[in-house]
Amino acid sequence: YKELKKEIEDFLEILPLLKELSKQSIKLRHWNEVMDVTHKNLPIDSDVFHLATLLDANLLEYKEAIEEITDSADKQLAIETKLHEIKEAWSHEAFEFATWKTREYPCVLVGSKVHSVQEALEESLMNLTAMNAMRHVTPFRDEVQSKLLQLSDTSDVIERWVKVQMLWTSLEAVFTGGDIAKQLPVEAKKFQQIDKDWSKIMGRAAETLNVVQCCQNDMLRNLLPILQQNLEKCQKSLESYLEAKRNKFPRFYFVSNPVLLKILSQGSDPESIQDDFEKLFDSINRVVFDRREKKHMIKFKCVLGKDEEVVDMSEPVKAEGNIEDWLRSLEKEMQKTMRDIVSRAAA
């Protein structure tokens, strides 16, 4: 009876261990660890691997060590599952592309999608960094570090890609037409090559779609730094150009760079900048052009609510040549006209 009782008690004590060893998380490597601990050769891949084999292995003697192995197996399964989820997610994550202005082919990344991709990347990198710091990551360390490096590299490429896109979209209208391109011919020619390379990499990326695959493309990775460097040079030249224009006509300091670019790019068509006069002059909303001499400005117009005031210029001003020159002439004529009106009123 006592022997039977002890046998039952031993079995009840070993039962939790057997349950732990039968879990899905227990892999071949864990059985190898159990054999190392117990110094028993267990035929785990054999048809003769029965419960009696485990009972004969005297597992209770190594209970703590085996419990540590099974606990580690659970944590490794959690790491393996999370790593699989991350890999699966990035195997399907794709960019979205859109057209730009008059271009009917995909040439820009959709900003909202890029933002969500960057957020997902940040979360995945955080999870992989945490995994890499765990002591149970050993069987998957190479995979985790490889994925960590891949996604970190992807994040860096996207960050540079977005910067290049911002530069390209801000300069595209400036250097592909209008008066500014004519006045900066060297930069305009350089931008033509930039534009070709940009269209090329965006076309390839739009065909690929997958985020990680796009960012691993050698052409994209090689061209982005060059495009960024050349676009920054174009931007610097443009800023110097704008500063020179502001020095010639200080009222340009009243407007932002985008507005000034719009004004300068349409300088050869004075009618097109009518809406911008009020940004440069305090009480001039528009000017009136002579019906016969289309380039001659003959009247100032100011609109306040429903009220409108029109003042005849003392002498017509010709809107011809560089825009800063005829705007400066317009400014002088405004001052001269006001002096003439005040003189007549005082006489």
- In angstroms, the CA 329 to CA 317 distance is 7
User: In this predicted structure, what is the pLDDT of residue 202?
Assistant: 95
Helix crossing, 185-208 with 218-248: angle to 10°? 150
Give the amino acid at 182: K
Enumerate the β-bridge partners of residue 310: 301
- In angstroms, the CA 159 to CA 324 distance is 38
The owner of tokens 């960590």 is 148
Note whether 319 and 294 are within 8 A (CB): no
pLDDT digits (tens, 9 = 90+) for 139-193: 889 999 999 999 999 999 999 999 999 999 999 988 887 778 888 899 999 999 9
pLDDT digits (tens, 9 = 90+) for 268-322: 788 888 989 999 998 899 999 998 888 999 999 998 888 899 999 999 999 988 8
Pairing state of beta strands 296-304 and 307-318? antiparallel
Note whether 237 and 180 are within 8 A (CB): no
User: In this predicted structure, what is the pLDDT of residue 265?
Assistant: 81
Going through the chain in order, the beta strands assigned E by DSSP cover 97-100, 103-109, 286-289, 296-304, 307-318
